[in-house]
Each structure stands twice: as structure tokens, then as C-alpha cells.
Amino acid sequence: MESTIQTILVNTKPKYTVSIGPGLLAQCGELAAGVLTPCRAAIVTDSTVAKLYLARVEEYFQAAGFSVCAHVFPAGEEHKNLSTLSEILEFLAGEQLTRSDCVVALGGGVCGDMAGFAAGCYLRGVKFIQLPTTFLSAVDSSVGGKTAVDLRHGKNLAGLFLQPSAVVCDTDCLQTLSPTELADGAAEAIKTGVLSGEALFSLTDTDDLFRNLKEIITRCVAFKATVVEQDELDNGVRRTLNLGHTAGHAIEACSNYGIRHGHAVAAGLAIIARASEALGWAEEPCAARICAALQRNNLPTGTDYSPAALARAALADKKRRGGEISLVIPQKIGKCEMKSVPVEELESIFAAGWENC
Ligand code: GLY
């Protein structure tokens, strides 16, 4: 009989496994005990997720021999900042966590990013475990060790790399997500499909992602693992994972972060796919297929912000290096390439792929 649990090894330093499947939360304590000597586990979560899962996760960690304490911060991207990070650090210190203890991130991308950052700088680094509860964190942010908080000047401007000791993804947690939250994750899954190839892309090109949720997450994580293993610190091939993110981050910034990350990335992906075709960079037409997959998942394929406004916002982003900016260009489904372009060409590239919502 086929196992309901998928396990993927991420061969970084240190290496760790990502376990994916239904009902896995009940095994989170045991899985943590498999990689860490039972210690004090500081569970960090937000006010929404705490109501759903905190009591159970505390129980599962205690049953596996950990002693637990928990910190709950207010839910929402607007709380992903230095003040919340400082509260988490003060909580860890107040609980007298030592270097042999661990932090457990229970929640979506905001929680994972902040709890991971706190784990990476508290006492110059303690171990941490990711328990992703959103589709977006399951397919992308819980794997690869990027952590961050937003600064007043922009998103994710302060952070560090810290690979988790384990990631435990209970696909049942995704059943409570709103259609908008699900669509956010779908955007990153479609992006990964464009990067990795037909096998994943065709699974995301549907109006019923739930049918293949576990397989989509597994394929996204497996692909991301191969990329992160080659370039843990994001100096080369890992930057291809930013497909759609240059225009996407610009759309988020133009909306003052009123447009959600996944929705902005979807529009950014559509813009760069159309631009690639229009400018003769694509090997095979794929923009129409990408846009159809996005639309099936209730995601936008355009924006009302002008190419000039997007270019201005993109050039303030951290992906700019001197007079050039790196773009990830889709060539066909399963093949994308990095291209460095002069900053003054960015507006015309966006214009070549621009459509309004
Ligand atoms: N989310 C892109 C990365 O982890 O590099």
C-alpha cells in the first residue's frame, strides 16, 4: 500500500527532512524527537493559528518528552516587524531558553520567517522546527532557511539564513484556509511548475487543487530542495525561484502591501511570461498556458499599476545590483533563465508584458 506520508531530504548543511501528509501534526513531537534530544520547545504562533492548533501541538511535544512554552503574536503581515521580533526574543530570554533548546514555528510564512529569525539570532542561534499551516508556507517558505522581518523601507529587508532541523507539513491544516489564502499558495506552486516542468505544472493547471494537494506540495518541495542544495545562500541558481517576483514585489509595494504576496506574484509571473514572448526570448509560447492556470486558481494576470510605476518600485527593491537588475525569464514550461538587464530597460520590459486587471 502506498504510504500517505511523503518524506523529502533537503541535503543542506545541516540536512533535514520535510514530511508531508494528512494528520501529521499528531506526529510532530515524535518527528522532532527523532532529530533533537528532547529539550525545552518554545512554540511561536499567531493569534489565528493558536486557536486552531496550539493546544494540540503543545500536547504532542510534551508526549514526546519536550517541555513546552508558547508565545502568540497578533496575526497579519503588518506584524512582521522588528517590534514583534523583539517580543519573541524577550519571550525566549524570559523563558530562559538555552542553546540546547529549540524554537517551533507553527503557522504560515509570516510566523516561519519571524520565528526562524528569532531562532537564528537568539544566543547566536538555536535549533528550529517548522510546522507550516498555509499552502504558501508548505510549498515554499518553510523550506530553504530564509528568515526575515519587514522594515519601514521594504519587505524582508532584515533576515538571516537558518535551515530548520525538520519541517512537518500536515496537509489537513490546509483544509481551513480561505480561497484567497489557498490562491496565494497556488501562485507559488504554479511558479514552481513553470520552473520545474510539465509534471508539476499540469497538476497546478486545475480549478480543484485539493485533488492533488499532497502531490503538488511534495513536487514543489522536492524541486526547491534541489535548487537550495546547489545554492543555499541565494547567490546563483536559487535566484530563479524569484520568477515573477520582480514585478510581483513592485505590485505589492505600489499597493502599500494591500495586495497579497501570492496574488502580486501571479500578476508578476503573467507579466514576465508575456514580456518574454513579446521580446523574442521564449523558446516556446507558454504565457497563455501560465495565465490560464493562474485564472483557474482565481489569481490575477494583470495589474492597474503602470509599467512606469512598477519599474520605479522594482528599482527600489533589494534585487537591484548597481546599474543592472536580474530578471528570471520563462523560456518554456520547465526552463527559465536569469537575465541581467540595464535598469533603464525595465519599464519597457514590463510594458511588453503589461495588461490591466
Ligand atoms: N522563496 C524563494 C527562496 O526561498 O529562495
Q: Do 64 and 158 sit in the same domain of this protein?
A: yes
* Residue that finishes a domain, picked among 176, 192, 216: 176
What is the pTM assigned to this prediction?
A: 0.96
Q: Do 185 and 167 sit in the same domain of this protein?
A: no
Please check whether residue 131 is in contact with residue 179, taking contact to mean a CB–CB distance below 8 angstroms: no
Please identify, by atom number, the ligand 1 atom nearest to the C-alpha of residue 146: 4
Q: Is the CB of 274 under 6 A from ligand 1?
A: no
CA angle 113, 115, 116 (to 5 degrees): 65
Q: In a structure prediction context, what are the per-residue pLDDT tens digits for the chain, which is 357 residues long?
A: 457 999 999 999 999 999 999 999 999 999 999 999 999 999 999 999 999 999 999 999 999 999 999 999 999 999 999 999 999 999 999 999 999 999 999 999 999 999 999 999 999 999 999 999 999 999 999 999 999 999 988 889 999 999 999 999 999 999 999 999 999 999 999 999 999 999 999 999 998 888 899 999 999 999 999 999 999 999 999 999 999 999 999 999 999 989 999 999 999 999 999 999 999 999 999 999 999 999 999 999 999 999 999 999 999 876 667 789 999 999 999 999 999 999 999 999 999 999 988
Domain that holds residue 12: 2-176
Strands 16-21 and 6-10, by their bridges, are antiparallel
Q: Is the CB of 144 under 6 A from ligand 1?
A: yes
Q: How many domains does the chain have?
A: 2
Q: Do 42 and 146 sit in the same domain of this protein?
A: yes
Nearest-CA residue for ligand 1 atom 3 is 241
Q: Is the CB of 238 under 6 A from ligand 1?
A: yes
Q: Hunting for cell 508548505 — which residue is that? A: 138
Q: Do 219 and 170 sit in the same domain of this protein?
A: no
Instruction: Give the model confidence (pLDDT) of 281-311 as tens digits.
Output: 999 999 999 999 999 999 999 999 999 999 9
Calpha distance 323→310 (Å, rounded): 17
pLDDT of residue 7: 98
Please identify, by atom number, the ligand 1 atom nearest to the C-alpha of residue 227: 5
pLDDT of residue 2: 54
Which candidate, 118, 74, 113, 114, places its Cα nearest to that of 93? Answer: 118
Q: Do 63 and 198 sit in the same domain of this protein?
A: no
Instruction: Give the model confidence (pLDDT) of 179-218 as tens digits.
Output: 999 999 999 999 999 999 999 999 999 988 888 999 999 9
**DSSP tally for the chain: helices H, then strands E:** 14, 12
